[in-house]
Amino acid sequence: MLDQTPASAPRASPHPALNRQIALGYSIALVIFLADVATKYWVHEYTAYDWSQPLLPFFNLVQVWNQGAAFSFLADAGGWQRLFLTSVALLASVWLLLMLRKPMALWERLAYSLILGGALGNGVDRGWRGYVVDFLDFHWLGWHWPAFNIADIAIVCGALLMIFSTLKTAPAHASKTTD
- The model's pLDDT over 102-129, given as tens digits with 9 standing for 90+, comes to 999 999 999 999 999 999 999 999 888 9
Q: How confident is the model at residue 12 (pLDDT cuts 50, 70, 90)?
A: very low
Whole-number pLDDT of residue 84: 76
Task: Respond yes or no: is residue 134 known to be catalytic.
Answer: yes
Task: Tell me phi and psi for residue 152, to 5 degrees.
Answer: -60, -40
pLDDT exceeds 90 at position 41: yes
pLDDT exceeds 60 at position 14: no
Looking at 36, 125, 134, 137, which residue is catalytic?
134
Whole-number pLDDT of residue 67: 76
pLDDT exceeds 60 at position 145: yes
Whole-number pLDDT of residue 86: 75
The more confidently predicted of residues 133 and 80 is 133
Closest CA to 44 of 131, 123, 127, 117: 131
- In angstroms, rounded to a whole number, what is the distance separating the alpha carbons of residues 32 and 121? 8
pLDDT exceeds 80 at position 136: yes
pTM: 0.79
Question: 105-128: b or e for each residue (b if 16 or more CB lie within 10 Å)?
Answer: eeebbbbbbbbbbbbbbbbbbbee
Whole-number pLDDT of residue 157: 98
Percent over 90 (pLDDT), the chain:
59
Task: Respond yes or no: is residue 36 known to be catalytic.
Answer: no
- The model's pLDDT over 53-101, given as tens digits with 9 standing for 90+, comes to 999 999 999 999 987 655 555 555 566 666 776 778 889 899 999 999 9
Q: Where are the beta strands (DSSP E) in 11-140?
A: 52-56, 59-66, 132-140
- In angstroms, rounded to a whole number, what is the distance separating the alpha carbons of residues 100 and 112? 7
Q: Which residues pair with 137 in a beta bridge?
A: 60
Task: Tell me phi and psi for residue 144, to 5 degrees.
Answer: -110, 130
